[in-house]
Amino acid sequence: MPHPSPDHITLMPFLLPGTILSCPDCGMGLYLLIKKVMRDGTFEGAVKPMVDVPEYTRGGSLPKKCPFCKTGEWWYPPGTVHTLQHGWVA
């Protein structure tokens, strides 16, 4: 999946606890935010993996793929993510 177009991205200064990072292709919930995350910050230490999802690891400059469908890219550098509640946010 190519990077989402700007008209499909909601600009948000932060994400609240309870937000679920999800795959845009299969809709699977991947990570649950357990604390508020500023959009210029990192998810490290702020996410809890959902059932059967590997631990979140920071690093790399490539999009992160869904571990279930293997095609959905839920994170694009430098910080565009797909959420269950809001769709694409940056």
Domain map (residue ranges) of the chain: 6-56+64-89
> Strand, coil or helix: what is 6?
helix
Query: Model-level pTM greater than 0.75?
Result: yes
On the question of pLDDT at 32 being above 90, the answer is yes
pLDDT at 12: 93
Distances, alpha carbon 86 to alpha carbons 12, 20, 61, 81, 90, in Å: 10, 9, 23, 10, 11
Pairing status of strand 9-10 against strand 80-83 = unpaired
Q: How confident is the model at residue 85 (pLDDT cuts 50, 70, 90)?
A: very high
Q: What average pLDDT does range 40-54 have in this prediction?
A: 84
DSSP 8-state symbol, 2 = P
